[in-house]
Amino acid sequence: MKPNRSLHVYYAEDVRQEANGQISVIGIFADAIGVAAFPTTFGKLAVLLDVTTATDRPFQKLSFEVKTDEGKILAEATLPVSQLRQQDEAVAKHVENQDEAKIISLRLQVVMAGVTIENATKIRVVVKTEDEEDLISRPLRIQKDNRASVTVAATAEGN
């Protein structure tokens, strides 16, 4: 049995790396964004991805897509091998400190500008690795809301 890999995402208004190394996440969306009408354009939409794997099974390949349920790709990237090798360095550092690292976590920031959404939809992140099975995030629903403000909807739904 393969060790578990996981994907956690935060959808937000902005994500940025601070000079001191901290990551600032501004305006996290819980489940949905309400808009006055479609089509709608977001000045900025950000996603913070946290992808984890076991230390004895580092990622050999990693790419991701941020896309709508209709298949429109909003952002995509493939991590170069040099960035993936940072996993090995992180594990070696733990071993050197006589620390037992059990998982590797890669944190990726995606900031998209001028994203136009034509209709109500869901946005998801799909991470592809050397495995046959993709990691798929929880969705962010973009929906019509007559109040024309950002809304938070606490609902349970399947993928």
Instruction: Let me know: does 42 contact 34? Beta carbons within 8 Å.
Output: no
The CATH number for 79's domain is: 2.60.40.1930
155 is a domain residue: no
> 12: domain range?
6-144
Give the pLDDT band (50/70/90) at residue 1.
Answer: very low
Query: What does the angle CA 130 – CA 10 – CA 15 come to, to the nearest 5 degrees?
Result: 100
| Mean pLDDT over the full length of the chain | 85
The count of structural domains within the chain is 1
152 is a domain residue: no
Which of helix, strand or coil describes residue 1?
coil
User: Rounded to an integer, what distance in angstroms lies between the CA atom of residue 98 and that of residue 93?
Assistant: 9
Nearest to 75 by CA among 91, 83, 64, 60: 64
48-78 pLDDT, tens digit per residue, is 999 998 888 888 899 999 999 999 999 999 9
125 is a domain residue: yes
User: Rounded to an integer, what distance in angstroms lies between the CA atom of residue 130 and that of residue 158?
Assistant: 26
159 is a domain residue: no
